[in-house]
């Protein structure tokens, strides 16, 4: 027969399970259970320790399992709600899975510059920066990667984030990715980044403007959204490259930094800020012309 | 700092380094929704206040916290975040306490306040001013320059509405070309050495 129990503090094994208070070692087995045997104490009257007990709650200064129980209930409720939201989102996305035709329509809409206003808004903050084709290409890739990564991350987080913080979260994620890619780009293209100076963070405003244009794709599922982000970034890159080429060729008479043959005297105005606006106007007019031509052909 | 230096600094920020025509910032608000001169003045004032606040708030953050703690790599992240917070606060303030302004802006408040001019003010305030007072002055001058450019561009756009231009140039492209011509005019102030 077991004389002494293995319980801490030399407690007697009386064949019953120890109470939670006993397990933590806060009370002895002889001490009666607080909730059942405590003499009635009207709310608001100080107890023996001089403290006013909270109505319906455990006495102060004592760790209560009810506190942990309430935390557990809260966790279970929030986890259950998040699981429900994830399942609902998965059902919605399975139901609205984009097929090949949808992606073709998207490709046509973005790369044929159907929604030029979105691209124009994205172009505005970049106007100063695009002075040469390599810089334009670098910025285009930077913005495309930021759009892709930020939308992927936001899609993953969208199930567990409340809808009210969606816009704030989007800005934070875009700012984070721009800051990270800025460090990477500075290491890879130091000369171009020195030329741009402090202007690179302005690409974040461009990303935020372009991100607003993707709101329609957000309900279609992650594949569709990421495809839309890539196509939007690519269409912006094409326009940036055209502006960069125009300014570099006319303003400096070089192509990707290589001097062009012939005795053309460069138009210095194209290297100035005014040249940026003029090149932006010319290229966007060309885009509008091509779009109008396409619409007229479809009309016939 | 004597009066001549003070005046030179203000003129440089308003004219020679104008936010819109020389630094090419804040063109989104100019292009999108200015339909009348009163709207242009309203947008100019709202964005101008944001530009001033961005310069006033970000200069201490950069000079007193980020640089002494060697947290320069957080410059981009904090500036974008500060601009977004400022834009959100402005939208709330305008919607709640300035119904007249909100009605005049009509749904493009967020576009007007979350633009590159405000972010530019946050980014360039640290490099353009050596003290807090200079940053306040620089921010106020930049805001004044934005208001001036906004009113000028809107006046040009109102005239363009009554002129005939090729269909491909209508809207954004012609606004950009007009802005380019305005930038050429502002470029003349650089030669004055203000």
Over residues A57-69, the mean pLDDT reads 56
Interface touch A201/B79, C-beta < 8 Å? yes
Q: What is the dihedral sign for C-alpha A161, A165, A167, A169?
A: negative
Q: Please report which helix (H) or strand (E) contains residue A175, including its range.
A: helix A166-188
Q: Is B112 left (phi over 0), alpha (psi -120 to 50) or beta?
A: alpha
Q: Which residue is associated with the tokens 């933590």?
A: A24
Tens-digit pLDDT profile for residues B119-141: 999 888 887 778 898 899 999 99
CB within 8 Å of chain A, chain B residues 18-57: 21-25, 27-28, 31-32
Return the structure tokens found at A27: 């009370």
For residue A87, give how far its alpha carbon lies from the nearest alpha carbon of chain B (Å): 32
Of the pLDDT bands very low, low, confident and very high (cuts 50, 70, 90), residue A26 is very low
Of the pLDDT bands very low, low, confident and very high (cuts 50, 70, 90), residue A43 is very low
Nearest CA in chain A to B78: A175
Cα separation, A222 vs A224, in Å, equals 5
Interface touch A125/B173, C-beta < 8 Å? no
Beta strands in A76-169 (DSSP E): none
Tens-digit pLDDT profile for residues A78-134: 777 777 777 777 776 666 655 556 666 666 666 666 667 777 777 878 878 888 899
pTM summary value: 0.74
Question: CB contact, 8 Å: B74 with chain A?
Answer: yes
Over residues B47-75, the mean pLDDT reads 90
Nearest CA in chain A to B88: A168
Nearest CA in chain B to A177: B77
All residues of chain A having their beta carbon less than 8 Å from the beta carbon of residue B168 are 285-286, 288-289, 292
Interface touch B23/A273, C-beta < 8 Å? yes
Return the structure tokens found at A229: 């982000």
């Amino acid at each position: 027969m077991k004389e002494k129990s293995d319980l801490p503090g030399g407690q007697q094994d009386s064949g019953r399970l120890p109470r939670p208070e006993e397990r933590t070692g806060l009370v002895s087995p002889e001490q009666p259970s607080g909730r059942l045997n405590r003499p009635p104490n009207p709310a608001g009257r100080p107890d023996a320790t001089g403290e006013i007990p909270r109505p319906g709650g455990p006495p102060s200064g004592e760790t209560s399992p009810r506190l942990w129980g309430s935390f557990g209930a809260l966790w279970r409720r929030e986890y259950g709600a998040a699981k429900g939201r994830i399942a609902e989102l998965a059902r919605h996305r399975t139901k609205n899975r984009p097929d090949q035709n949808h992606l073709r329509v998207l490709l046509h809409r973005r790369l044929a510059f159907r929604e030029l206003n979105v691209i124009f808004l994205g172009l505005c903050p970049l106007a100063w920066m695009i002075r040469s084709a390599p810089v334009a290409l670098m910025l285009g890739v930077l913005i495309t990667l930021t759009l892709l990564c930020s939308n992927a991350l936001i899609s993953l987080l969208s199930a567990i984030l409340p809808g009210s913080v969606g816009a704030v979260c989007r800005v934070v994620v875009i700012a984070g990715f721009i800051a990270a890619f800025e460090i990477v780009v500075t290491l890879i293209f130091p000369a171009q980044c020195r030329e741009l100076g402090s202007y690179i963070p302005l690409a974040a405003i461009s990303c935020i403007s372009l991100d607003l244009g993707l709101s329609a794709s957000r309900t279609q599922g992650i594949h569709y959204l990421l495809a839309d982000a890539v196509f939007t970034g690519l269409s912006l890159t094409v326009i940036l490259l055209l502006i960069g080429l125009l300014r570099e060729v006319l303003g400096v008479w070089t192509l990707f930094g290589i001097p062009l043959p012939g005795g053309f005297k460069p138009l210095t105005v194209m290297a100035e800020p005014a040249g940026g606006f003029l090149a932006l106007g010319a290229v966007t007019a060309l885009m509008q012309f091509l779009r109008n031509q396409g619409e007229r052909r479809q009309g016939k | 700092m004597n009066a001549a230096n003070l005046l030179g600094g203000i003129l440089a920020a308003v004219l020679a380094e104008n936010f819109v025509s020389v630094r090419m910032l804040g063109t989104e608000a100019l292009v999108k929704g200015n339909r009348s001169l009163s709207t242009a003045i309203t947008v100019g004032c709202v964005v101008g206040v944001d530009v001033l606040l961005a310069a006033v708030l970000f200069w201490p953050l950069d000079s007193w916290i980020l640089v002494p703690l060697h947290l320069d790599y957080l410059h981009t992240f904090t500036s974008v975040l500060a601009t977004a917070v400022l834009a959100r606060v402005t939208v709330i303030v305008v919607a709640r306490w300035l119904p007249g302004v909100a009605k005049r802006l009509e749904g493009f408040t967020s576009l007007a306040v979350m633009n590159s001019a405000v972010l530019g003010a946050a980014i360039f305030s640290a490099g353009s001013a050596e003290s807090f007072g200079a940053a306040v002055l620089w921010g106020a001058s930049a805001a004044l320059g934005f208001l001036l450019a906004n009113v000028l561009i809107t006046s040009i756009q109102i005239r363009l509405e009554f002129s005939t231009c090729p269909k491909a140039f209508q809207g954004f492209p012609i606004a950009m070309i007009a802005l380019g011509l305005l930038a050429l005019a502002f470029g003349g102030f650089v030669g004055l050495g203000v």
